Structure 1
């Protein structure tokens, strides 16, 4: 007789799978039309699935009813997500980026983080009653780093490509990756002082010298410097091993694509075992791993890493929505709800904006005042804040007197839990920032595009970022059977051979849906054996004179033509059919 098995595992699988499936059906509409980040939507879903609502996700049950175990699970989950995110963030940056842009990064990571820490701590000190400034410094340190998970929601995708300059995207990625691991010194300075000195003579030994010794020795030497060295060594060794294996054809495509993610898991595990900074080690390893730009270029057009990135983002923010102590915001013994609301608003406005605006003329990636305001306002508090929160709670549980947590440490734990979880609402600033700063321009562009469609442009000069011969061979599946050298055009993300029959077919099929005047502007070139460019039955085409240049790559390995994909997504903006199921796309 069949029986129902309504157990937690089945419920969680059905809930997560159903939500991600349904969200995927409208993901483009939510993110690109309504300016809602997947993190915000996922956190709202977590609230709906939480014990306070539908009770489909029951975090405390998974932890066997123990609050400390639940905190440990959340800490490990954030470590995993941050580790993968920061390796991928390091891989996204161009060759030797940390070396070439060290001046801009040093401003953001030095004076920038320090002022963010002090200003947030002053706000916490002002709004939380009966809290010492030393304790406020510990709270402010947890929300000082900008979150790399939420940063990706605004520096990736169609919105970013249209509105945020590439150099500005890169500096945001680099800063959010580096400062996430550099939050340890800001956090452990007040924590060691609390442990050794405390308040009202409750310190362990009332010795500031011992506190500073722990801070320099354990935090800077063992946590920061060791993690940087370890991440650089592991990233470099991984790069050389992958070069060696790929040159001998030992590695298949699937293993090649997953290499960066498995590297992140290895670093999180090994650095976690020695008790150092796994977050910073992952970012350094990602940068070192792609120091020569080889891996980044080889995976430039592959979607596996962004897919894993999206799945982790959705999962972790659903978990946050379920474990967040919503009830304690209005019912706690440390801060009234109205003070929390004012604190959140002022943190949005004063934590980061003043210092970035003051320094923006010395950071060449920030070219104008509006960009300075955007970078200053955009400094999300998210996964990294939860990570540092539970690092702090774990440390404070170790400050004991007669087998119990010391009174001041217990009070600080409650303050940190309420304030930091509430400040994660800063993630709401991402869609609001998009809406407020760029919605008028987006509406204007949409109206103008409807009234005057943009002409189609094909590829132009060679592009170094599209990779080398092996990269093209990977994408096109091998060598051509014709035995003749050919050039390869890239239209959008598709690789198309330029043999006479193929180009003629494309041009004929395009002409069926194009007006005569439009067809003249999109005539496809015929590259004969001599390499001259002319349209079939038309005049020569000057590829270098086109407004929007894609790239031409020459490959002498006789690559076969690769048919276009049958599916076109909204952000790929097809123009005309090239096959029964495809379309020629303009440059993204």
Structure 2
């Protein structure tokens, strides 16, 4: 006899599949028309389905314990970051890290260090009774810019129309590289907490051992090894794929998915040897397309952005469900009236002052407006959550005599880092997710209101590529009638957003409709003298060797 089976698996799969389907139905409207990020929308959806609201998704019940839940979130974040950073490396042009090492060194060196220090000082100043070493650890978690949220400003219609290509590339490269370089900042603070903190009297070695471990383990084993490993694996993968593709050993599906399987392999193997899998994935992705071959082969394929969208929607739904929302108000670390100003100050001063100071040395930033834009859009997201759970794992090891309770000086560190890092990540997701639509609304609303209040009778409107003059007939109706043969001055033409359309000529017209084709619209070819239409030019295929089924060989001729 059939019975209802509302098991956890059935509920989670139903909620996830239903939400992705509903979001997909209006995804173009939300992302391309309203400029809303999928991260913000999915985060709110996760909150809606979480135990804080409808209780459809219950992460703690699935995990069984708080430790298991932390481990699941950490591994899920590692997976998403690994895939995203391989894709980020693949998106960059040939030998980009070698060609642009000077601006990248500036962004990853003094600017990133200054971001860490100013964030730590703000946390230390606004959180009562917080040791400075703890503030350094919290600041290190939110120092890297997030590659997942950075896609909001380097992809889509807004980026195509407003962000220059060179600026998009440097943002991708910085967000990919500084994710892995957050380890030195974090572990310098953690080693100092372990060996010279107030409760570190039982630890042998002191500051000397802490600095030695920081140079040896963090820089030598974690960072340097991951760079070498990622470069070697990326180069071997490129050569193997090139060889197999030339000999027709690989089919199209396996060719397109190769970057994702490479990300999974590097994430798993680096995790086993204890190295920096995030940095290794980014280096491997860049070396994998060092000669631009794979990037150009997959330039017009939609598999990469599809997987990217699925991972983004899923991870931020999970964040919305597991985020400790109640702790923002109910905690023993910082009251809410201090927490909100802290989040605002970090978003304003964590990055922007240093970009404004040194932007003239970064040739991709052209002018003050682009410097303000890049300084403001330094989002905090998946990378901060990753370093949060790395910190929690490290704090669990600070227990004297292998006891269950941590040292007395770090008894509140886990709560402090959880509350502050989660709150700053949520602030960044919300603020950076709403900045573009609110900015667009703030620019166009005054223009639209002003135009509506001062619209002349003969105002022209642009619909597509056609300008329709509005003139009144002799009977007073508002129908369109042919203009008389007298020369009249052309009235001002406005777009729907409120901007003025400049006419290329100053001559008058007596036509009812004036057609003004635009660059972004497809214009039909004109008939030839014989009455037939000319053949449309074939698109450039970038010398690809793997074809789609509908790409006939006639296009190449």
Cα deviation, residue 34, structure 1: 2.1
User: Could you say what secondary structure the match of 1:223 adopts?
Assistant: helix
Equivalent residue, structure 2, for 1:21 = 21
**For residues 322 and 194 of structure 1, what CA distance do their matches in structure 2 show?**
31
Equivalent residue, structure 1, for 2:259 = 260
Cα deviation, residue 431, structure 1: 2.9
Q: What are the Cα deviations for residues 219-249 of structure 1, in whole angstroms up to 9, with x where unaligned?
A: 0000000000000000000000000000011
Equivalent residue, structure 2, for 1:451 = 462
Equivalent residue, structure 2, for 1:429 = 431
Aligned positions of 1:489-568 closer than 5 A: 522=523, 524=525, 537=531, 552=540
**For residues 424 and 555 of structure 1, what CA distance do their matches in structure 2 show?**
43
Equivalent residue, structure 2, for 1:502 = none
Equivalent residue, structure 1, for 2:63 = 63
Equivalent residue, structure 2, for 1:409 = 410
Equivalent residue, structure 2, for 1:490 = none
Q: What are the Cα deviations for residues 28-78 of structure 1, in whole angstroms up to 9, with x where unaligned?
A: 1111222211000001011111111111111111111x1111100100000
**For residues 90 and 449 of structure 1, what CA distance do their matches in structure 2 show?**
47
Indicate the RMSD between aligned Cα atoms, in angstroms. 3.0
Distance 1:542 1:55, change over 3 A: closer
Is residue 52 of structure 2 the alignment partner of residue 52 of structure 1?
yes
- Greater CA drift, 395-404 or 534-543: 534-543
Cα deviation, residue 563, structure 1: 8.6
Cα deviation, residue 260, structure 1: 0.1
- Greater CA drift, 435-444 or 360-369: 435-444
Q: What are the Cα deviations for residues 325-384 of structure 1, in whole angstroms up to 9, with x where unaligned?
A: 111111111111111101000001000000011111111111011111110010110000
User: Could you say what secondary structure the match of 1:451 adopts?
Assistant: strand
Kept after mapping to 1: 8 A contact 2:170/2:364: yes
Uncovered stretches (5+) of structure 1, i.e. residues with no partner: 456-513, 527-533, 544-549, 565-588
Distance 1:3 1:212, change over 3 A: same
Equivalent residue, structure 2, for 1:270 = 269
Kept after mapping to 2: 8 A contact 1:378/1:433: no
Kept after mapping to 2: 8 A contact 1:87/1:283: yes
Kept after mapping to 2: 8 A contact 1:524/1:536: no
Cα deviation, residue 536, structure 1: 5.8
Cα deviation, residue 207, structure 1: 0.9
Kept after mapping to 1: 8 A contact 2:199/2:408: no
**Regions of 4+ moved over 6 Å:** 441-445, 447-450, 514-519, 538-543, 553-557
**For residues 293 and 254 of structure 1, what CA distance do their matches in structure 2 show?**
20
Aligned positions of 1:104-143 closer than 5 A: 104-143=103-142
Taking CA–CA contacts closer than 8 Å with sequence separation of 6 or more, which of the two structures ends up with the larger relative contact order?
Answer: 2
Cα deviation, residue 136, structure 1: 0.4
Equivalent residue, structure 1, for 2:80 = 81
Is residue 29 of structure 2 the alignment partner of residue 33 of structure 1?
no
Cα deviation, residue 441, structure 1: 6.2
**For residues 94 and 127 of structure 1, what CA distance do their matches in structure 2 show?**
43
Cα deviation, residue 392, structure 1: 0.5
**For residues 321 and 339 of structure 2, what CA distance do their matches in structure 1 show?**
20
Equivalent residue, structure 2, for 1:6 = 6
Uncovered stretches (5+) of structure 2, i.e. residues with no partner: 452-458, 467-512, 553-557
Cα deviation, residue 322, structure 1: 0.6
TM-score (norm 1): 0.78
Q: What are the Cα deviations for residues 462-500 of structure 1, in whole angstroms up to 9, with x where unaligned?
A: xxxxxxxxxxxxxxxxxxxxxxxxxxxxxxxxxxxxxxx
**For residues 213 and 517 of structure 1, what CA distance do their matches in structure 2 show?**
69
User: Could you say what secondary structure the match of 2:143 adopts?
Assistant: coil
